């Protein structure tokens, strides 16, 4: 295996304040905000976001700091991290849009970067003309485009409109055409930023499929940034986790994603529709710990803390959603069925799931409670926890969308045996 990209001590500094902001009006604005209004410096906030990277109080932010790694030819690498972690800066440096402050990048083979779909499209030009224009911008020679023109038009699926100015295209057709051009780049290294966020689900699937084909069949090197962990897991073999400008994890993609989830926790707080606080669903734990991983082949249990004040006839839900927010598992039980016709005090609600058998990926789990009109009428949601499901569902030949789960609820104060109910 030969090395396609070697990055050594790569750093990118962004200078804030007088030197970096440039125009006099911005400098004046900054002076006004800090001196006259005595508010915190708006530019310093950026520095705080990259807290580890602040160099004293000199208004210097390291968007990337001493990053080193090597990528072998044919590897598919997913780069993950929170907003502002430095992912896009890294891609910009790799694709030469801006140059590093320190360090070197060495590349072998032609690099094509796709930081945006449809860069340089001109609205007045026809689809065909834009294929040539966009292709040339991305680094294709005219002969190369001539050769692939039919293939590109075919992939885009907008053949009928190909001689119409693209300003008359629907936004979907526009994006399709743009991606079709990019998908036919013949480069040894392909750098893709979160460009799939646009476009409908069908288009996203098509793009992912094409990228998978490029990576697996043609053996090309792919660097892929996305916030869609499902796509990352599907497409990439290796993961790089970036946090405040540094690589904190460089491993196989599953470990990397899991590590990202651990760090980020991906917990969204609980909520309810009324303000009276008669029923609260709280913290979730999986297998009695802060775990965010579920294996498709093994059973697991999920518990949630419930706090209520004399709520009768509540209905409780356990919901698992996929990355698109669609319910994959949606189980329901009335509180009376599990021995609590009236919920009062602090309790723990538990759901035992034998096996899930769903496609590997990132899912969100939460509980919901609805109480009928009466003393309290409203909905309460527990916190939402993102979990990573691993293990091939296909291998088992099963796919349970409606697993038999076991519900139980016990009071946290009185130690009475919990009554279980299998639904």
Partner 1 sequence: MKTIAENENWDLVIKGHGPLFDLKISEVWSYRDLLLMFVKRDFVSFYKQTVFGPLWFFIQPLFTTIIFTFVFGNLAGLSTDGLPQPLFYMAGITAWNYFADCITKTSTVFKDNSQIFGKVYFPRLILPLSIVTSNLVRFGVQMLLFIGMMAYYALAGGSFQITWAVSLFPFLVLLMAGLGLGLGLMITALTTKYRDLSFLVTFGVQLLMYMTTVIYPLSAAPERYKQLIQLNPMTGIIEAFRVAFLGQGYLSATSLGYSSAITLVILFAGILIFNKTERNFVDTV
Interactions with partner 1, residue window 397-416 (CB under 8 A): none
Interactions with partner 1, residue window 80-139 (CB under 8 A): 92-111, 113, 115-116, 119-120, 122, 124-125, 129, 132-133, 136-139
Short-list 160, 178, 163, CA closest to 126? 163
CB of 259 to partner 1, least distance (A): 29
- 349 to 136, 145, 299, 365, 366: CA distances (angstroms): 60, 61, 17, 14, 12
Query: What is the distance of C-alpha 243 from the center of its chain?
Result: 14
**Does position 14 bind partner 1 by CB under 8 A?**
yes
Cβ distance to partner 1 smaller for residue 119 or 285: 119
CB of 113 to partner 1, least distance (A): 6
- Taking CB under 8 A as the binding criterion, the range among 15-23, 47-55, 152-160, 169-177 that sits at the site for partner 1 is 15-23
* Cα-based torsion angle of the residue sequence 55, 60, 61, 65 in order, rounded to the nearest 10 degrees: -60
Cβ distance to partner 1 smaller for residue 40 or 123: 123
**284 — phi, psi (to 5°)?**
-105, 140
* 13: its two tokens: 């500094």
Cβ distance to partner 1 smaller for residue 138 or 235: 138
Interactions with partner 1, residue window 295-334 (CB under 8 A): none
CB of 17 to partner 1, least distance (A): 13
Specify whether the CB–CB gap between 195 and 114 falls below 8 A. Answer: yes
**Does position 73 bind partner 1 by CB under 8 A?**
no
- Taking CB under 8 A as the binding criterion, the range among 22-30, 35-43, 151-159, 199-207 that sits at the site for partner 1 is 22-30
On the CB side of 188, CA atoms within 13 Å amount to 11
Cβ distance to partner 1 smaller for residue 165 or 339: 165
Cβ distance to partner 1 smaller for residue 62 or 357: 62
Specify whether the CB–CB gap between 229 and 360 falls below 8 A. Answer: no
CA dist 318 and 335 (Å) reads 13
CA dist 356 and 13 (Å) reads 46
Cβ distance to partner 1 smaller for residue 84 or 378: 84
CB of 72 to partner 1, least distance (A): 14
* 42: its two tokens: 């708006």
CB of 269 to partner 1, least distance (A): 36
Q: Which residue in this structure is represented by tokens 């030819």? A: 73
Short-list 287, 172, 237, CA closest to 1? 237
- Taking CB under 8 A as the binding criterion, the range among 16-24, 43-51, 286-294, 317-325 that sits at the site for partner 1 is 16-24
Interactions with partner 1, residue window 165-224 (CB under 8 A): 165
CB of 107 to partner 1, least distance (A): 5
CB of 282 to partner 1, least distance (A): 45
Query: What is the distance of C-alpha 107 from the center of its chain?
Result: 27
CA dist 96 and 116 (Å) reads 14
- Taking CB under 8 A as the binding criterion, the range among 19-27, 150-158, 299-307, 407-415 that sits at the site for partner 1 is 19-27
| Partners of 279 in the β-ladder | 308
CA dist 110 and 106 (Å) reads 12
CA dist 264 and 244 (Å) reads 13
CB of 8 to partner 1, least distance (A): 9
Cβ distance to partner 1 smaller for residue 44 or 115: 115
Cβ distance to partner 1 smaller for residue 132 or 203: 132
CB of 61 to partner 1, least distance (A): 11
SS3 376: coil
419-422 β-sheet, strand order? 279-286, 300-312, 342-353, 406-411, 419-422
How many residues in the shown chain lie near partner 1 by CB under 8 A?
Answer: 44
Specify whether the CB–CB gap between 329 and 356 falls below 8 A. Answer: yes
Cβ distance to partner 1 smaller for residue 94 or 358: 94
**Does position 28 bind partner 1 by CB under 8 A?**
no
Cβ distance to partner 1 smaller for residue 144 or 344: 144
Cβ distance to partner 1 smaller for residue 92 or 249: 92
**398 — phi, psi (to 5°)?**
-125, 155
CB of 103 to partner 1, least distance (A): 7
CB of 77 to partner 1, least distance (A): 18
Residue 312: CB atoms within 10 Å: 17
CA dist 84 and 49 (Å) reads 8
* 421: its two tokens: 């109910």
Residues that bind partner 1 (CB under 8 A): 6, 14, 20, 22-24, 92-111, 113, 115-116, 119-120, 122, 124-125, 129, 132-133, 136-139, 141-142, 165
């Amino acid at each position: 295996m030969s090395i396609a990209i070697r990055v050594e001590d790569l750093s990118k500094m962004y200078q804030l304040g007088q030197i970096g902001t440039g125009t006099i009006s911005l400098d004046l604005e900054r002076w006004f905000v800090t001196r006259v209004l005595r508010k915190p410096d708006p530019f310093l906030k950026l520095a705080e976001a990259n807290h580890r990277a602040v160099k004293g109080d000199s208004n210097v932010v390291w968007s990337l700091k001493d990053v080193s790694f090597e990528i072998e030819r044919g590897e598919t690498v997913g780069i993950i991290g929170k907003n502002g972690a430095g992912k896009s800066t890294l891609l910009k440096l790799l694709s030469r849009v801006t140059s590093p402050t320190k360090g070197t990048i060495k590349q072998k083979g032609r690099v094509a970067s796709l930081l945006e779909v449809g860069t340089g499209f001109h609205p007045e030009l026809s689809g065909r003309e834009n294929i040539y224009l966009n292709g040339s911008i991305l680094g294709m020679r005219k002969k190369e485009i001539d050769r692939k023109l039919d293939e590109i038009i075919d992939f885009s699926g907008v053949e009928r409109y190909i001689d119409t100015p693209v300003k008359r295209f629907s936004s979907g057709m526009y994006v399709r055409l743009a991606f079709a051009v990019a998908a036919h780049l013949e480069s040894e290294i392909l750098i893709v930023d979160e460009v799939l966020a646009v476009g409908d689900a069908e288009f996203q699937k098509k793009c992912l499929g094409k990228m998978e084909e490029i990576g697996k069949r043609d053996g090309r090197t792919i660097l892929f940034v996305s916030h869609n962990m499902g796509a990352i897991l599907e497409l990439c073999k290796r993961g790089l986790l970036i946090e405040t400008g540094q690589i904190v994890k460089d491993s196989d993609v599953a470990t990397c994603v899991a590590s990202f989830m651990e760090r980020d926790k991906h917990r969204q707080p609980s909520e309810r529709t009324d303000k009276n606080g008669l029923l609260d669903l709280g913290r979730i734990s999986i297998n009695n710990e802060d775990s965010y991983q579920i294996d498709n082949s093994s059973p697991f249990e999920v518990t949630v803390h419930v706090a209520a004040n004399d709520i009768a006839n509540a209905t409780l839900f356990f919901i698992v959603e996929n990355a698109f927010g669609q319910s994959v598992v949606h189980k329901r039980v009335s509180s009376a069925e599990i021995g609590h016709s009236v919920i009062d005090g602090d309790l723990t609600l538990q759901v035992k799931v034998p096996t899930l058998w769903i496609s590997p990926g990132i899912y969100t789990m939460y509980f919901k409670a609805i109480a009928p009109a009466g003393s309290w009428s409203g909905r309460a949601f527990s916190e939402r926890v993102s979990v990573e499901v691993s293990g091939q569902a296909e291998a088992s030949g099963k796919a349970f969308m409606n697993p038999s789960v076991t519900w139980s609820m016990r009071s946290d104060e009185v130690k009475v045996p919990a009554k279980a109910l299998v639904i």
